[in-house]
Amino acid sequence: MDVAILLYEGFDELDAIGPYEVFRTAAEFGADVDATLRTLVPSEQVTASHGLRVEPDDVLIGTPDLVVVPGGGWNDRAETGTWAEYRDGQLPDRLATLHDGGAVVASVCTGAMLLADAGLLDGRPATTHDGAKADLREYDVDVRDDRYVDDGTILTAGGVTSGIDLALHVVERECSPGVAERVSDELEYDTPY
């Protein structure tokens, strides 16, 4: 499974790095998962919302099996982050194209707002950070209070740490429950549900 975790200026660190570690650990346990950090445009470095600087692996080319979209910067309408990407519109457009091309699209935290803007959440159940649920309700979305929501080709996770739950769920769904349990044990992460 080719997993592309999208990075953009101002993304929330844990939204991206938590799932990345889950997928990479699953691969270490033999799962057919290749998780990489990618950007829409060539970039030597991306700065996250709390100042972490990350060197992306590559530009997003083609259609991966799974695209993970982190949040960050929505609730405070930051100059970089989800709010800025929403206003720019390029990322939501690309997400719609990727989904139309067969990619499963997942969001963590306020990344769901980019999926909503892309029209990917229309008529679907979804979740996001508590601080953005009122905004998400402005779309044709069945907003849930769950840690994560799996609606087949669209998955959403609530606030920050729920991205780990979402990634573990994907590993269980796409690889095996045994691998997901081994990853959870290795990370010493007890799922809160």
**In which element (H, E) is residue 69 found?**
strand 66-69
pLDDT in tens, 144-182: 999 999 999 999 999 989 999 999 999 999 999 999 999
Quickly tell me which residue has 């992460």 as its tokens: 189
Is the residue at 78 inside a domain? yes
Query: Domains in the chain: how many in total?
Result: 1
CATH number at residue 151: 3.40.50.880
**Predicted pLDDT of residue 154:** 98
Is the residue at 130 inside a domain? yes
pLDDT in tens, 96-139: 999 999 999 999 999 999 999 999 999 999 999 999 999 999 99
pLDDT in tens, 134-154: 999 999 999 999 999 999 999
Domain range enclosing 84: 2-186
pLDDT in tens, 4-43: 999 999 999 999 999 999 999 999 999 999 999 999 999 9
- Tell me the pLDDT band of 190, cut-offs 50, 70 and 90: confident
Residue type, 38: R
What average pLDDT does the structure give for the chain? 97
* Distance from C-alpha of 62 to C-alpha of 97, rounded to nearest angstrom: 11
